[in-house]
Each structure stands twice: as structure tokens, then as C-alpha cells.
Copies of this chain bind each other. A is one copy, B any other.
Amino acid sequence: MTTSLTLYDIPSTLPSKTWSPNVSKVRYVLNYKGLPHHTEWVEFPDIEGLYKRLGAQASATKPDGVTPYYTLPLLHDHSTGALVSDSAAIARYLDKTYPETPSVIPKGTDAFHYAFTEALQSHFRATALWRITLAKSNSILNPVSEEYYRRTREASLRLGGQKLEDVVPKGEEREREWAKLEEVFGKVDAWYGKGDRYVMGDVVSYADFWVSASLMWVRKLFGVDSKEWKDISRWHGGRWGALVKDLEKYEAVF
């Protein structure tokens, strides 16, 4: 197969350059399927211009429900001309367009995949993970994206005029929130069969990439030797550390 797929990603100052969990989900899928592809790096303020230049449609809207929200990942399939954003939509597109590659949303599990990611999102929304990671996410960006990210996030309703650093829980509050995060991961752990590494038991699916991309993101932000990553990787019998390790073979950036 020739490289006819371009994956647009946001660069960071980390050695891996990539950091976005949503882009990681797609990269896992591409590597798992063995689909040759090429990464193009786009800084935050340039994403909208990229969409317009390519003639791509935004798949999300801003909180007003109307204004297009231009996000990465965006996949350009040069062989079909398709431009697809949103990681789950890209996974479904690749399953359909390249049926000779291993399916990441196996037959019969499409509705389950929607429900699975919704249940996870709703669990994680109930934690302080976004506050714990917010300033850290910003600090690893290149200056042009760092400035953009800070400016747009600090202007958002969610922050209500606070600086990124102000919402990060500290001291005892952080410990309490961290314990809550472990509890939420415990609820997800309880879904898995005993001894099963993957959501579907023996078979890797997009659901595993979803979970692992979120974990890998924490590992990237805080570093492999951080207390945060050491904690998470030993929680629940080492399930989370083992999963990320197991899927490392699909992490490579091309």
C-alpha cells in the first residue's frame, strides 16, 4: 500500500511531539490496521485555516451550538478524497473503507462502542482530571499554541475569568480528587472480565484504544517517572499500566 493518508496532529515540545489523546486514538487505529500514513503538524491557531484550505467540514460546534469548532484529528484520505474529523468517525471510516484490514469496531459492537465512550466520558467528566491536567497540557505546547490555548481557555465560561493555573487542585484537594479518580477507574475496571486485558476479552477494539489513549496522555503530560503515572499504572492490579505497555507497538509516529 502507498502512503495516501495524512493525519493532522498538534505538536508539543515533548520528545514524541504528539500529545493529544484524540489524535492518539486514530494513530493506534492506523498502526493496528497497518495503514501507511504520514503525520502533518498543525499549531492550534492554524487549525481553522487548515480546514478552510482543505474544504473540510467541522464535526463539532462551539458551546453556542452554531459556530463550527475546528479540531484535530483530521484525516485526509488522498485515495478517496475523504476528509474526516472526530476520532471515532475516523475509526468507522477506516473500517468501512479498508475492510481487508482488521476491524477496530467489530460487527455487532457499533452501538456498544457509542455507549462505551459515552459512559467513560460521563465518568471522567465527574472527576477533576481536566483541572489536574489543564495547566500541564498548556505548558508542553509550542509558544504559538501555548498563547492561543491559554487565551481561548481562559476566556471560556468554564474558567470564569480564572487563569489556567488557578483551577488546578493543590494540596489536600488534589489528593482527594486523585483518590476520586482512582475510584472512577475502579468502576471501569469492574466492567472487565477477570484476567482480560481488553474490553472484548481476547480481541483489541477501538474501546481499548480509547482507554489507552487517555492513559497514555497522562503518562506523556507528567512523565513516565512521575508519581501520577506510577500511581495509575499500579491501580487495579496493574491493569492500566499493562494496557498502555501492551499497545505501545501501535504508538509509533510516522
Contact = CB atoms under 8 A, between A and B. Distances in A.
A124 interface: no
A166 interface: no
B191 A108 contact: no
A193 interface: yes
Given A115-B116, A119-B122, 14 more contacts: A107-B201, A108-B109, A108-B200, A108-B203, A109-B112, A110-B193, A110-B201, A111-B192, A111-B200, A112-B112, A114-B190, A115-B119, A118-B119, A118-B122
Nearest to A108: B200
A91 interface: no
A239 B111 CA distance: 14
A106 interface: yes
Nearest to A199: B111
A112 B109 CA distance: 8
A110 B199 CA distance: 8
Interface string A112-136: 1111101110100000000000000
Contact of A112 (B116, B122, B190, B202): B116
Contacts of A29: none
Nearest to A120: B115
A23 interface: no
A201 B105 CA distance: 13
Contacts of A118: 119, 122
Contact of A115 (B107, B110, B112): B112
A111 B118 CA distance: 14
B122 A122 contact: yes
Contacts of A106: 108
6 contacts: A106-B108, A108-B203, A110-B191, A111-B191, A112-B207, A116-B116
